[in-house]
């Protein structure tokens, strides 16, 4: 099937498969794929040449290419799902504890917390994600377990689980996250003991999943808050809010460039994965472990850029 030109209207029978195959061919010919996250020893050995990409339609139909069924370390991608689970439980009260603005600083920065009284800029930098995990822990007693159960249900993959080696590696090298937790606790913005919070947070980030799993699991954001089983997790307004924060804050301090190049709400992780949402149409996940200096997959951003260029599917 021929690839449709940008800005065209797709017939219902359109398949994304030839688009993905073309992107994979182009990416394979691209030099300079970045470097794995070497500050987490368990991720340092990943081959930056690996590449997978999946697209999931609203009805659960999935297309994929390359290593699209290979599980990888989700890392900060999970922050989207934890945010959704907590927002569904406490609503707008969450925003008293974490902001919704881009940080303009690296994802693990301590700089802004002191002069902003322990309130992180957004839920997707590490400080903000710690706050959200803390609040979900208070409401469920097992934030990481609640997240894993949700991902299994939405992806349809009951085999998803924690990678204990990754969690142990992050724990052993987690001094910066511990500092963030203790600093926010000193302002009264953390409810649980910091060691308990860190255990939950590192487990959350260690979940291993494939591009297919994550594209499916993200579907509720393209369906305006509706889960895979037809139940409602979020209001339409809440789904819009999460998509908006993904667009402005989802790729650390490179969110502006990502919005410029890709034009979709997205969330990256230092495991090399990126999820993206085309509201009302489909969801995507791309994985390639080589990162740029800001912690985003080099091949992943390039692939999503090509996807929106080839298909014309963008929020702009």
Q: What is the pLDDT of residues 218-274, one digit of tens each?
A: 999 999 999 999 999 999 999 999 999 999 999 988 999 999 999 999 999 999 999
The fraction of the chain above a pLDDT of 70, given in percent, is 94
Respond yes or no: is residue 252 known to be catalytic: yes
Stretch 121-133: mean pLDDT: 96
Catalytic hit among 55, 80, 252, 278: 252
76 is known as an active-site residue: yes
Please give the pLDDT value at position 306. 98
| Residue of 19, 55, 201, 268 marked catalytic | 201
Mean pLDDT, the chain, rounded, equals 92
Which listed residue (19, 65, 73, 76) is catalytic? 76
User: Is 278 a catalytic site residue?
Assistant: no
pLDDT digits (tens, 9 = 90+) for 59-105: 999 999 999 999 999 999 999 999 999 999 999 999 999 999 987 66
Rounded to an integer, what distance in angstroms lies between the CA atom of residue 75 and that of residue 236? 26
HEC assignment per residue over 272-298: CEEEEEECCCEEEEEECCCECCCCCEH
Token pair listed for 19: 């688009």
Is 8 catalytic? The answer is no
Q: Residue 72 forms beta bridges with which residues?
A: 209
Smallest Cα–Cα separation from 251: which of 279, 272, 278, 233?
272
pLDDT at residue number 5: 38
Higher-confidence residue: 170 or 236? 236
Instruction: Find the helix packing angle between 143-155 and 194-206, rounded to 10°.
Output: 20
What pTM did the predictor assign?
A: 0.93
Q: Is 55 a catalytic residue?
A: no
Sheet holding 207-209, edge to edge: 72-73, 207-209, 161-162
pLDDT band at 3 (very low <50, low <70, confident <90, very high): very low
- Residues in a beta bridge with 284: 55, 276
């Amino acid at each position: 099937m021929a690839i449709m030109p940008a800005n065209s209207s797709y017939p219902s029978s359109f398949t994304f498969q030839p688009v993905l195959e073309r992107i994979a061919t182009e990416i394979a010919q691209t030099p300079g794929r970045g470097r794995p996250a070497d500050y987490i020893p368990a991720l340092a050995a990943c081959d930056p040449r690996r590449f997978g990409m999946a697209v999931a339609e609203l009805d659960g139909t999935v297309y994929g290419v390359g290593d699209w069924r290979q599980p990888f370390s989700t890392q900060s991608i999970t922050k989207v799902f934890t945010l959704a689970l907590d927002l569904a439980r406490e609503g707008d009260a969450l925003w008293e504890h974490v902001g919704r603005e881009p940080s303009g600083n690296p994802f693990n920065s301590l700089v802004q917390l002191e002069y902003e009284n322990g309130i992180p800029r957004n839920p997707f930098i590490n400080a903000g994600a710690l706050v959200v995990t803390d609040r979900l822990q208070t409401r469920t007693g097992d934030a990481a377990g609640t997240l894993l159960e949700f991902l299994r249900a939405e992806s349809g993959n009951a085999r998803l689980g924690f990678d204990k080696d990754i969690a142990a590696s992050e724990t052993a090298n987690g001094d910066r996250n511990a500092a963030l937790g203790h600093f926010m606790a000193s302002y009264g913005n953390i409810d649980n003991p910091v060691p308990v919070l860190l255990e939950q947070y590192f487990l959350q980030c260690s979940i291993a999943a494939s591009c297919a799993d994550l594209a499916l699991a993200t579907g509720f954001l393209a369906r305006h808050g509706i889960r895979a089983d037809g139940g409602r997790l979020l209001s339409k307004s809440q789904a819009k809010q999460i998509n908006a924060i993904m667009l402005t804050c989802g790729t650390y301090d490179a969110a502006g460039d990502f919005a410029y190049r890709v034009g979709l709400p997205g969330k990256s992780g230092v495991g090399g994965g990126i999820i993206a949402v085309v509201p009302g149409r489909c969801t995507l996940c791309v994985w390639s472990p080589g990162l740029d200096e800001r912690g985003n997959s080099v091949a992943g951003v390039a692939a999503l850029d090509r996807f929106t260029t080839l298909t014309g599917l963008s929020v702009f």
